[in-house]
Structure 1
């Protein structure tokens, strides 16, 4: 039986032998791919190669890729094979080999290398792919084991590369099935497990749905490590493999529980193990918990893991302990778990602490409810109360149910679901109402009558204005007080309303007795600017004179970023060519995003050249001037206009020295020197012929560089060298680590051989079968298996049961040689032996491994091996 670590290595080595270049796993953050939050498949890092956006540096590659998917989050722990984080084994061809090569390789790997019996295997093909059927048959697959499935067609999207695919399934046996007479491939039960998908990327599909053969056909395959490990290790689910069991056992230990004793707690143990693993790897790749994007996905997984830990009775911080186990079993392969340890632990501790505090608040309130229920004799908590706990304190309804169950109190889940839905609809409606307030007929008509709002913001950041109209969600009002949200129309304003990619200003509106925050500004077709306000104190009334104040620091930062986009576009056109056209932008106080037309990624040299070009113009302190003129005059001056944008007769031309001339209605610096510094953060493709640059300017660029410097200093501190010596020290340490690893392997091999020679005297004869049961010194399961292999060669035939203690845990290995000797089964023998140490395991008839919790029982377990063998041989004495 192979471990997960061995399966990774075996796969890569096999395809390396077939001319593939082994590539390390890419980050869980997709590089230059705004279409994806996270890396969801092994092919994601190679999309530019498949789409020929970048010429591949090699024609064949093989990887073990880290992936995260969350669409089936609620299924994790309840099924045998749903995970958030998983590892995908894959081999890829970029216009090199195709079906004729990949199909025989896949069949050889499955049947010869992994030695999965042919009678357990099935293959699916696309119904029209007779070529694949023929190649599978020639490879050795029986025709009656090849099934046509119309779902076997892969596509990158509605338009783009696509092609048929083939899947390899393993029949796990009738015991794993549904028992129906028609149970077969495609059945919803667990009997037939898909382990490998081979995608034959041979067409490109256009908007009309027409398929055209690709000039260079590609191969993309994917095999889940967790799935194939469950098959090879002969266990019931992915969670029972050595990839998960250490995490499950640690969680059970913290909770004071035992795995496989209660189906309900088993689900929670699996969820905690899975989610802790996902969170650790996401943090290791630099994803920070946040309220949106991939950070929100991380936080959601983390909090769900804590929630299920609560159901197990774990109330104190525990994730660090689980992370240490993850580190122990994965860091040798994924070094980022060690390298980014401080970052990971800091975020785990902080998130766990904050969420635990939130849960504590909810528990106190729930305890008060329970006390009141005891006094009144009430037995059902209303759904509204349960929802209040969830919405206000983040207290999961599952925990509410769990706590109240002990008191004989239930939760009205029907009304809870109803309250949840009502809240969702209400929030959606309120948002819609306030967002649409600027478009309702009363406001629109009022705005038309009042005329355009005079915009003062190009020249000043404060003004005295008159409130000309005020609306709430019900309609026009004369006034509003503290806590209310309203839409106002002013006669004049310094606030810039979101337009042309530039976000709205922030600031306040105040009188002597009241003030309000400006939440949002919108410009109506009439030219009126609506101000969405939250009144923080006092009362605002129609006709009242107010003082408006724009947040100066925010405006300055926004202006710096906006002016940078103008310099950036000119630099791109000078360096890449006049075909570069702006295709969209976002300008905020924190960053800028600039989309443009171009057909290939920028090289590192081009990015540096663009940066240098922009920064030279910043340091040149070019005067920035804005002037209104006719469209014809602007064209004569060589102004750049947005492609497809409609302009009036009078336009606003923004000039930066003789370098940049663009039509723009946004706010800008007075002199490019005010920008300070410009730094590109990323460059990538967002579609056919479209690229995106993200950058920072001013204080934000300084903050970015300081963060990079801080990380570099932290690396230098950890390495205990001067910063300039860090790279040299890393190379030196890497070489030393490789040498030490070789020494450890050599020493373990020598120790195993010595022990094997010394314990042969312990061989017993049990009813004609040689039995060797002994405790040995082995730091891990790998060394224990090596010792068993040596003893098998020396014993020639018989049963070997070896046990060792590593990190206070029991490791056991059983060998029956030759396989099936006297009807003995290694998996069944080890299951009996392991149970004495409080553990479990299983495996093939010839070899099996197991783990145990109670190391003090190892001697007793090994002493009972003779009686266990007698029992299996049919002799009870």
Structure 2
């Protein structure tokens, strides 16, 4: 059975049993959940449903979810390629019940699907090869005898139902919250595989294929368990694992899904076909095959390589694949060229990949090019290290690895070639320390519903009226004080929940509204509006007046309409900028973040290079063409599938429901957006781009102003240009030429000054101190204003006068900056080491540096310590 058929059978089976088939969410964790970096299980997109923070129009669902495990709690990266089962990217099949059915139906569904006949849409696995595990009870939690009885009722032989402890058969979302026992289905692959013939034993013989989690308890902060009012089901079946069983192969990597990818890899590898199965070659090819799938979907979902967060994980995955490519003898760039093979393997399930292949390939190719620079930089760093001790310290290896991304195995190779020891123990200690810090940093908790704010999930959703009005009567549904405690009356500062409101809650980059809530005798100044739970708008207020604000009373909610108008203008301008960027730069451009407030807009987007000035002007022209045309905008609520089919843009990191709002400027822009917008583009006025730059590798940022803010910016620019023109006594249109001429003159004067200083410092060697120490000529010289390149040129001139000598040159560049260069002629390197001499000098000038025996360079921040530094050099030679 092909993997694509298996995936579809699973979804069809549960669809026929009343489940909503829900599309896979992004591999990137939800933008509003700081506890999740990656989607590492099928339940992630339903987390708020399980927690009761969100409700949808269905109570049972089925998915084939794209998952990533390469960081945080679930991190399989180091095992990938070396085992038959580990992946960074994989698909998890799952069925879910949100307070609908529970154990009886979940167990019956699972057993029927796994063992039922294939001609009835099931998988037809032999029941005699299947084992089921249940929770045996621990720490006061009773054994799950109910599950045992239900499995037996479904048809599992009693002697094939085994009980295990909390490690294997108890699941919890976190230290607190939903938890419960779970049951796993295991498959015995036969005696031809090494290992135990029972579940959870050693070896590969018996393999887990499906985990059914029974969420039936809620754990509080004290560790106490109480039954959930609406028990739920969360299951996860590994697509690749089950496919390997159905296709009768030994490894996940041998299933049909990977074959197009391996074909592409072997076309580029310098490995004889007869040697492909050899352990080193097989491992390397599996690493690359796994990592190209992961990297393709990560970039598709908006991640770009960088030195932090998700981008750092992607960078590690790419560079790990490139290192293993070297083991296959692949020369030159190759990783980005594998993207089409991922589409060939998975395009039937993810057809949306095709339109993004060019962008994905360019992103990966850029990282490949960068890595070649990394190798060059890393080798330079290695060459500059002090190796006098005969070893490379672990801290330096870690610095190369962590700061420059230089592979540790290449450090080992470099050391081996030079007969140097490689302190891997010290490296591993530094790595463990970093991981410990990383784990501590990952222990963040979702504080959005801290205190009594958790009650928001049980209160009626706020009806948002702000698309139509900026003022409305509303009822106070709940009050919370500044400490998030629920109160009946509120004074001072706190939070107000209304039954409906014209106030927009911060979301999608748009800031929250401000304004006033009024009732007789009380005025509440609204300083912000947020939605800590979906569709629950909390008004941040400061209460004033003759009395407190009371729960249940009616208020007049008035938005600051003038501020809202400026926000609307900037938000619609953001949509126009997005469309113009795609028109000018290409359809690979996707939003990667935004901020919309009354004063400006900030728009982050994926692109590979800085924008040319002409491109910025063209983007501005296209946007202002739309604002000058005064076109009517439209908004429409429709099913998300219909919206996407109509070409609406979905934004990176946003979470959408079953129905979405589509905002359009006809013929120019169409995006999914819940924000507030102008009714006519003419309301925006002028749009002016004020800056463009990089914020991360492959991510650019535009900042712009619209309307009154744009007018204010233009007036400031006019005033500045006028002042500059008057200062240099030239017409405005000639300013560019005048400034260029002055810059050229400054550069020429700087060059002349540098040459004069160098000539004065080098002429005749009058300032040189020449002495004999230990039978060697030692030359020291201190100058000012000679920077690195010129100092090396000066060293060459001093060497012509002193063919056999130890020479130390120092140049004061500023009150807190000193450059030092130490040279040892080749005939003296047996008795003097330039790097060691520089190291002896460094403490006296608060400096550092390094190099080879014949030449070392460094610097310091304490020029006044130079006499002591020269004395230390003489002492080291004596």
Q: TM-score, normalised by structure 1?
A: 0.51
Q: What are the superposed Cα offsets for residues 826-872 of structure 1, whole Å, 9 maximum, x if unpaired?
A: xxxxxxxxxxxxxxxxxxxxxxxxxxxxxxxxxxxxxxxxxxxxxxx
How far apart in 2 are the matches of 1:579 and 1:74? 50
SS of 2:338's partner is helix
Alignment of 1:140 with 2:142, yes or no, is no
In structure 2, list runs of 5 or more residues that go unmatched: 117-121, 137-142, 438-469, 485-492, 529-540, 546-560, 573-592, 608-617, 624-630, 648-878
Alignment match of 1:307 (pick from 299, 323, 332): 323
The equivalent of 2:23 in structure 1 is 24
Correspondent of 1:399 among 404, 410, 425: 410
Q: Is the 8 A contact 2:477 2:499 kept in 1?
A: no
| Cα gap change, 1:615 to 1:264, in 2 (>3 Å) | same
Contact kept in structure 1, 2:85 and 2:241, CA below 8 Å: yes
Pairwise CA distance, 1:224: 0.8
**Residue 9 of structure 1 aligns with which residue?**
8
User: Where does residue 256 of structure 2 map in the other structure?
Assistant: 242
CA contact (8 A) 1:26 1:45 kept: yes
Task: Pick from 118, 128, 132 the counterpart of residue 123 of structure 1.
Answer: 132
Residue among 341, 344, 347 paired with 2:363: 347
After the TM superposition, which of the residue ranges 344-353 and 77-86 deviates more from structure 2?
344-353
Q: Which residue of 2 aligns with 1:44?
A: 44
From 351, 375, 399, the equivalent of 1:359 is 375
1:571–1:610 CA contact under 8 A, matched in 2: no
Measured against aligned partners, the alpha-carbon deviations of 1:176-199 in whole angstroms (never above 9, x if no partner) come to 223x6xx53211321111000111
1:744-755 aligned at under 5 Å gives the runs: none
Q: Which residue of 2 aligns with 1:67?
A: 67
Give the deviation of 1:338 after TM superposition.
2.1
CA distance in 2, matches of 1:241, 1:19: 30
The aligned counterpart of 2:91 is 87
Partner in structure 2 of residue 162 of structure 1: 179
5 Å-filtered alignment, 1:73-472, equals 73-112=77-116, 113-127=122-136, 128-151=143-166, 152-178=169-195, 184-257=198-271, 258=273, 260-362=276-378, 390=401, 393-401=404-412, 412-413=421-422, 415-418=423-426, 421=429
- Deviation of residue 124 (structure 1)? 0.2
Q: How do 1:850-861 and structure 2 match up within 5 A?
A: none
Q: 1:185 to 1:411 in 2, by over 3 A?
A: farther
Aligned to 2:656: none
Deviations 1:748-800 (A, max 9, x none): xxxxxxxxxxxxxxxxxxxxxxxxxxxxxxxxxxxxxxxxxxxxxxxxxxxxx
Q: Secondary structure at the match of 1:175?
A: coil
Task: Judge conservation of contact 1:384–1:416 (CA < 8 Å) in 2.
Answer: no
Residue segments in structure 1 that go unaligned for 5+ positions in a row: 430-569, 585-594, 619-634, 643-653, 659-670, 682-692, 715-721, 737-877
Q: Distance in 2 between matches of 1:411 and 1:250?
A: 39
**Cα offset for 1:302?**
1.9
CA distance in 2, matches of 1:427, 1:60: 38
CA distance in 1, matches of 2:79, 2:605: 42
- Residue of 593, 597, 604 corresponding to 1:697: 597
Alpha-carbon contact 1:382-1:411 (below 8 Å) kept: no
Change (3 A) 1:210 1:325: same
Provide the rounded CA distance (Å) in 2 between the counterparts of 1:572 and 1:295: 45
Give the Cα–Cα distance (whole angstroms) in 2 for the partners of residues 352 and 600 of structure 1: 53
Q: Could you report, residue by residue, the CA deviation over 1:694-725 in whole angstroms, capped at 9, with x for unpaired residues?
A: 95436662436999x989x99xxxxxxx9999
Q: How many Å apart are 1:11 and its aligned residue? A: 0.5
Q: Cα 1:164–1:694, aligned 2, differ >3 Å: closer, same or farther? A: farther
Residues 1:64 and 1:425: Cα distance change in structure 2 (over 3 Å): closer
For the aligned residues, what is the CA RMSD?
5.3
* 1:60-106 Cα shifts (integer Å, max 9, x gaps): 11100111112221111111111111100001111211221121221
- Aligned equivalents of 1:385, 1:30: Cα separation in 2: 34
Rounded Cα–Cα distance in structure 2 between residues aligned with 1:203 and 1:185:
26
Say if 1:572 and 1:580, in contact at 8 Å, map to a contact too.
no
Structure 2 contact 474–501 (Cα < 8 Å) conserved? no
Partners of 2:76 and 2:358 lie apart in 1 by: 30
Separation in 1, partners of 2:498, 2:44: 18
Contact kept, 8 Å, 2:566 with 2:598, in 1: the verdict is yes
Q: Which residue of 1 aligns with 2:715?
A: none
Q: Give the TM-score of the pair, scaled to structure 2.
A: 0.51
Alpha-carbon contact 2:474-2:499 (below 8 Å) kept: no
The answer to whether the Cα contact below 8 Å between 1:61 and 1:91 also exists between their aligned partners in 2 is yes
Give the deviation of 1:235 after TM superposition.
Answer: 1.2
Name the SS of the counterpart of 2:230 in structure 1: strand
Provide the rounded CA distance (Å) in 2 between the counterparts of 1:734 and 1:610: 22
The answer to whether the 8 Å contact 1:573/1:580 transfers is no
> 2: CA distance between counterparts of 1:214 and 1:318?
52
> Is residue 69–residue 83 contact of structure 1 (8 Å, CA) maintained in 2?
yes
1:124-151 Cα distance to aligned partner (Å, 9 max, x none): 0112111111111111111110000113
Alpha-carbon separation, structure 2, partners of 1:428 and 1:131 = 40
* Contact residue 126 and residue 166 of structure 1 kept, 8 A: yes
Cα deviation, residue 395, structure 1: 2.3
**Secondary structure at 1:30's aligned position in 2?**
coil
Deviation at 1:428?
12
2:311 & 2:330 partners in 1: Cα distance? 25
Q: 1:733 to 1:275 in 2, by over 3 A?
A: closer
Structure 2 contact 244–250 (Cα < 8 Å) conserved: yes
**Range 252-261 or range 127-136, more displaced:** 252-261
SS in 2 for 1:36: coil
CA distance in 1, matches of 2:602, 2:505: 19
Q: 1:436-455 CA distances to partner (integer Å, 9 max, x unpaired)? A: xxxxxxxxxxxxxxxxxxxx
State the Cα distance separating 1:403 from its structure 2 match: 6.7
Q: Is the 8 A contact 1:163 1:201 kept in 2?
A: yes
Using the alignment, how far apart are the partners of 2:149 and 2:49 within structure 1? 29
Structure 1 residues 184 and 162, CA gap change in structure 2 (3 angstroms): same
* Alpha-carbon contact 1:573-1:579 (below 8 Å) kept: no
> For the Cα contact (< 8 Å) 2:480–2:496, is it kept in 1?
yes
- Deviation of 1:311 after TM superposition, in Å, equals 2.9
2:177 & 2:341 partners in 1: Cα distance? Answer: 42
What SS does the corresponding residue of 1:176 show, helix, strand or coil? Answer: coil
In the TM superposition, residue 402 of structure 1 has moved relative to its aligned partner by 5.0
Distance 1:680 1:115 in 2: 54
Describe the SS at the equivalent of 1:703. Answer: strand
Instruction: Out of 319-328 and 393-402, give the one that drifted further.
Output: 393-402
